[in-house]
């Protein structure tokens, strides 16, 4: 740990291309200018100063990239939130990680705006980023990360995949997720390009086929969609590395990529470790697919990983986060030896690769998103016409698992109103895809019986979806 000069890093790449869109190409020299102008703009218009905690709710990814780097240069901590976050949820996030200001969509300063003269070093051990993740209790937890965490993570990834300034990375993941942020950090360290979609047809297929990135980060749901297009498959084959994580990859998908020579790298990571912890090499490099199937690869540089006696995955190293912030208070959930106990259960193979066996809490993954059933239950139960609710995951061919909710409601329940109300409380990916409405009947104890046994409830949900056995089963999405 020490100090980082962000402007020196950007300036060192000079005429190399920093980012490319369908409409422009910006060099690192130009990006440095934009960052320094934005620093002046943020000071003049928003009075940003050192150690401020600033939330970002920005739709435009170019705007986000420049603002993120500018705030870091001003020694501020950034709290990126989804641009689709409901207003009430933003207030909830603020209660957990109090931020001084909220920057929503704004216009970047013009090219003639004064350039900041700030040329200082940044203490890389201080909080620079907060990524919210769902806890098993349902309350969002802010993962506090330093620049040292981010740079250590990025450097380990760069070394493992042998990335260089010739590489370009599609900005394919949401920027309120650590995976999205790390695309930016890796790129600026090597002087590579970030590929940004600024077109009207803002699809990942369009970006890949039009701008030809060499690297890509996806979750299984995204890759399943991409391989449906033969033209996109041909572009995927030409890439250097496609990081596939966020959720277990279906075996058929891995086999397809191996057969088609698509350079997928199976990876495991978490926000608390600044993204990746383990990874395979691109799977076509292996002589036998059985070497990597059902594993998430070997531990990357700058990370430590152990398995405890209960099968829990423990992590540590310079990428390990500073701690959580929730309810406005910092917490430090580390074991005595500095290790962090994850929510995942795993095992190490004889070759030292990690096999993920499941989760040790109630959470599940939906299209790469971390889903807390309790968080959804709390949102649904806030509706006056809902008496009880329980959320469980069910299999889905596209998203891996999706939320299914059992409802016990009053006579005031109305399907249309419920659908409208729940969209005000939860982002789209957390809205249950199915719900089962158990009408109030004193002679039926169906809901009470399964309420205390989530395992039995999950089995019932799978059966209902599979057999579609009741007219009380509805699809919300």
Of 308, 328, 359, the last residue of a domain is: 359
pLDDT of residue 310: 85
Domain shared by 116 and 41, yes or no: yes
64-75 pLDDT tens trace: 999 999 999 999
Question: What average pLDDT does the segment 290-305 reach?
Answer: 93
Last residue of a domain, one of 359, 377, 399: 359
Using pLDDT thresholds of 50, 70 and 90, give the confidence band for residue 135.
Answer: low
Question: How far from the centroid of its chain's Cα atoms is residue 457's Cα?
Answer: 28
The predicted structure's pLDDT at residue 469: 47
Instruction: Residue 407: give its domain's CATH number.
Output: 3.30.300.30
pLDDT confidence band for 449 (50 / 70 / 90): very low
- Whether residue 385 is found in the same domain as residue 408: yes
Mean pLDDT of 147-159: 98
**365 phi and psi angles, rounded to 5 deg:** -105, 130
185 plus 253 within the same structural domain: yes
Domain that holds residue 378: 364-475
For residues 243 and 372, membership in a common domain is answered with: no
Q: Specify whether 341 is located in the same domain as 449.
A: no
Tokens, residue 51: 């150690």
Distances (CA, A) of 119 to 7, 11, 74, 200: 7, 12, 10, 37
Q: What is the pLDDT of residue 325?
A: 96
Mean pLDDT of the chain: 89
pLDDT tens readout for residues 1-43 = 689 999 999 999 999 999 999 999 999 999 999 999 999 999 9
- pLDDT the model gives residue 299: 98
Compare 461 and 192 and report the one with higher pLDDT. 192
Q: Is the pLDDT of residue 215 over 50?
A: yes
Residues 98 and 181 in one domain: yes
Structural domain count, the chain: 2
Mean pLDDT of 186-192: 98
Considering the domain architecture, whether residues 350 and 390 belong to the same structural domain is answered as no
Q: CA-CA distance, 316 to 302, in Å (whole number)?
A: 9
Diameter over CA atoms, the chain: 75
Among residues 334, 359, 384, the one where a domain terminates is 359
Task: Give the residue among 374, 426, 296, 366 at the shortest CA–CA distance from 134.
Answer: 374
What is the average per-residue pLDDT within 119-136? 89
Same domain, 272 and 387: no
pLDDT higher at 359 or 290: 290
State whether 354 and 371 are in the same domain. Answer: no
Q: What angle do CA 124, 127, 133 make, to 5 degrees?
A: 130
Both 324 and 396 in one domain: the answer is no
pTM: 0.82
- Is residue 54 within 8 A of residue 76, CB to CB? The reply is yes
**Both 378 and 344 in a single domain?**
no
CB of 165 closer than 8 Å to CB of 190: yes
Across the range 186-207, mean pLDDT stands at 93
253-257, 446-450, 468-472: the lowest-pLDDT one? 446-450
Residue 245 and residue 163 in one domain = yes
CATH number at residue 150: 3.40.50.12780
């Amino acid at each position: 740990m020490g100090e980082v000069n962000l402007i020196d890093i950007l300036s060192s790449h000079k005429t190399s291309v920093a980012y490319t869109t369908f409409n422009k190409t910006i060099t690192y020299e130009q990006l440095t200018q934009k960052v320094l102008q934005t620093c002046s703009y943020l000071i003049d218009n928003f009075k940003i100063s050192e150690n401020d905690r600033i939330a970002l709710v920005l739709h435009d990814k170019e705007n986000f990239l420049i603002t993120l780097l500018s705030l870091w240069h001003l020694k501020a901590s950034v709290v990126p939130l989804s641009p689709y976050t409901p207003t009430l949820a933003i207030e909830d996030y603020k209660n957990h990680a109090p931020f001084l200001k909220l920057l929503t969509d704004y216009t970047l300063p013009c090219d003639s705006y004064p350039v900041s003269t700030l040329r200082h070093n940044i203490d890389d051990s201080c909080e620079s980023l907060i990524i919210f993740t769902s806890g098993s209790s349902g309350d969002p937890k802010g993962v506090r990360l330093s620049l040292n965490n981010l740079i250590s993570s990025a450097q380990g990834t760069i070394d493992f995949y042998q990335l260089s300034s010739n590489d370009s990375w599609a900005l394919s993941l949401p920027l309120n997720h650590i995976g999205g942020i790390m695309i930016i950090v890796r790129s600026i360290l090597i002087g590579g390009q970030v590929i940004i979609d600024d077109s009207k047809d803002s699809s990942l297929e369009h970006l890949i086929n039009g701008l030809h990135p060499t690297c890509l980060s996806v979750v299984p749901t995204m890759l399943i969609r991409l391989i449906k297009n033969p033209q996109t498959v041909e572009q995927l084959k030409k890439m250097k590395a496609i990081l596939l994580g966020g959720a277990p990859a279906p075996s058929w998908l891995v086999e397809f990529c191996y057969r088609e020579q698509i350079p997928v790298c199976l990876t495991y990571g978490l926000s608390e470790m600044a993204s990746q912890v383990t990874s395979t090499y691109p799977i076509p490099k292996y002589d036998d697919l059985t070497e990597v199937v059902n594993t998430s690869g070997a531990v990357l540089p700058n990370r430590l990983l152990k398995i405890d006696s209960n099968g829990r995955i423990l992590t540590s190293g310079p990428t390990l986060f500073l701690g959580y912030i929730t309810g406005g208070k910092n917490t430090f959930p580390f074991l005595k030896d500095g290790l962090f106990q994850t929510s995942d259960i795993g095992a190490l193979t004889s070759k030292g690769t990690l096999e993920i066996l499941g989760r040790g809490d109630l959470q599940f993954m939906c299209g790469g998103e971390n889903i807390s059933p309790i968080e959804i239950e709390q949102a649904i139960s806030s509706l006056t016409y809902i008496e009880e609710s329980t959320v469980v995951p069910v299999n889905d061919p596209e998203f891996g698992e999706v939320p299914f909710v059992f409802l016990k409601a009053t006579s005031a329940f109305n399907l249309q109103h419920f659908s409208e109300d729940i969209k005000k409380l939860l982002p789209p990916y957390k809205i249950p895809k199915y719900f089962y409405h158990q009408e109030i009947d004193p002679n039926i104890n169906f809901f009470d019986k399964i309420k205390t046994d989530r395992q039995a409830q999950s089995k019932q949900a799978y059966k209902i979806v599979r057999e579609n056995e009741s007219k009380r089963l509805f699809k919300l999405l």
